[in-house]
Amino acid sequence: MNKRVLVTGGSGFLGSHLCDALIKKNYDVLCVDNFFTGTKNNIMHLIDKKNFELLRHDITFPLYVEVDEIYNLACPASPIHYQFDPVQTTKTSVHGAINMLGLAKRTKARIFQASTSEVYGDPIVHPQPESYWGNVNPIGPRSCYDEGKRCAETLFFDYYRQHNLDIKIVRIFNTYGPRMHPNDGRVVSNFIVQALKGKDITIYGDGTQTRSFCYVSDMIDGFIKMMEDTEYGFTGPVNLGNPTEYSIFELAENILRLTNSKSKIIYKDLPQDDPRQRQPDIALARAALKWAPTVSLEDGLKEAIAYFRGIILSYL
């Protein structure tokens, strides 16, 4: 029998690319999504495959299915979306984790958690190794996401220690590529759409804050390496991301150059608790998973720009 794999959040940006990769491996894929930020368009091309199934379901409610592996990705990821209904964001991370861990316990499935670099908050240690406990505001506008994801990690480790569950946790650093939501407010999608439409490029703050951008194919490769790692008891958390760090201003300049855009850069207020710097220390991923990103920012941006150009043209 083929491996039966559940992907929660499977019609979102990362989830849909993960479904593609798992279908290619000939697994039976069950994509579960409530379509809050995901869209059927992202997985439309899989609908006719006999090893793909789509279920509309909100993971804050229990789910009874039979599976061998669970990738838990369901959760809005962009600040605009996760702050839209912060209580639901926390519920998705916390109740959602409890429901998926319960499912893993009953079915004895291996379970993977899509955690985040946001567990480090506005980091004082730079770059961030997994051993760093972070600098997180528990009561700010980003807390529903950051603390929700931190609590989910706690739950995963308690199920591991208490019920001997086979857990795998990755901490994802900023990832970009085709199928990002064009209006999700994340910096890469915002700047590309603004540049292609000839609108002002909105830098928040002075643009000296940094991020490290990983292309989606590298990230999905890392997910599968982690999930299929044979060393029992290697739980993570393990950082996955591209360690090449850019300032937001440098990112804007790159996107203007690659799109040949005449847009001008304008400066807006920095959102509250916006992290000053972010760069993954990926020594653990390199050593334990033999994983490292391979796609440069330039090559990845070209792919993302081509995708956004396509959807902007299809709106006209």
Residue ranges that bind ligand NAD, judged by CB under 6 A = 8-9, 11-15, 33-38, 58-60, 73-77, 92, 96, 114, 116, 172, 174-175, 181
Binding partner of residue 133 among ligand UDP, ligand NAD, none, CB cut-off 5 to 8 Å per kind: none
- The span from the CA of 90 to the CA of 86, in Å, is 6
Q: Reduced to 3 states, what is the DSSP secondary structure of residue 184? A: coil
What angle do the packed helices 143-163 and 86-107 form, to 10 degrees?
Answer: 20
Query: In 130-186, where does DSSP find H-type helix?
Result: 143-163
- The span from the CA of 301 to the CA of 292, in Å, is 18
User: What 3 state SS string does 194-222 have?
Assistant: HHHHCCCEEEECCCCCEEECEEHHHHHHH
Report how far Cα 233 is from the mean position of its chain's Cα atoms. Answer: 23
Binding partner of residue 100 among ligand UDP, ligand NAD, none, CB cut-off 5 to 8 Å per kind: none
Q: Going by C-beta distance under 8 Å and a sequence separation of 6 or more, which residues neighbour residue 115?
A: 149, 152, 153, 169, 170, 171, 172, 237
Binding partner of residue 51 among ligand NAD, ligand UDP, none, CB cut-off 5 to 8 Å per kind: none
145 as an active site residue: the answer is yes
Contact between 175 and ligand UDP (CB under 6 A)?
no
The CA-based dihedral angle spanning residues 83, 142, 222, 224, taken in that order and rounded to the nearest 10 degrees: -50
In the complex, the smallest distance separating the C-beta of residue 148 from ligand UDP, rounded to whole angstroms, is 14
Residue 257 or 276 with smaller CB distance to ligand UDP: 276
Contact between 143 and ligand UDP (CB under 6 A)?
no
Contact between 274 and ligand UDP (CB under 6 A)?
yes
Q: Say if strands 167-172 and 110-116 run parallel, antiparallel, or are unpaired.
A: parallel
Contact between 211 and ligand UDP (CB under 6 A)?
yes
In the complex, the smallest distance separating the C-beta of residue 64 from ligand NAD, rounded to whole angstroms, is 15
Contact between 238 and ligand UDP (CB under 6 A)?
no
Stretch near ligand UDP under the rule CB under 6 A, chosen from 28-36, 180-188, 221-229, 236-244: 180-188
Binding partner of residue 261 among ligand NAD, ligand UDP, none, CB cut-off 5 to 8 Å per kind: none
Contact between 204 and ligand UDP (CB under 6 A)?
yes
In the complex, the smallest distance separating the C-beta of residue 268 from ligand NAD, rounded to whole angstroms, is 21
Which DSSP symbol is given to 30? E
Contacting residues toward ligand UDP, per CB under 6 A: 78-79, 174, 185-187, 190, 202-204, 209, 211, 248, 270-271, 274
List active site positions. 145
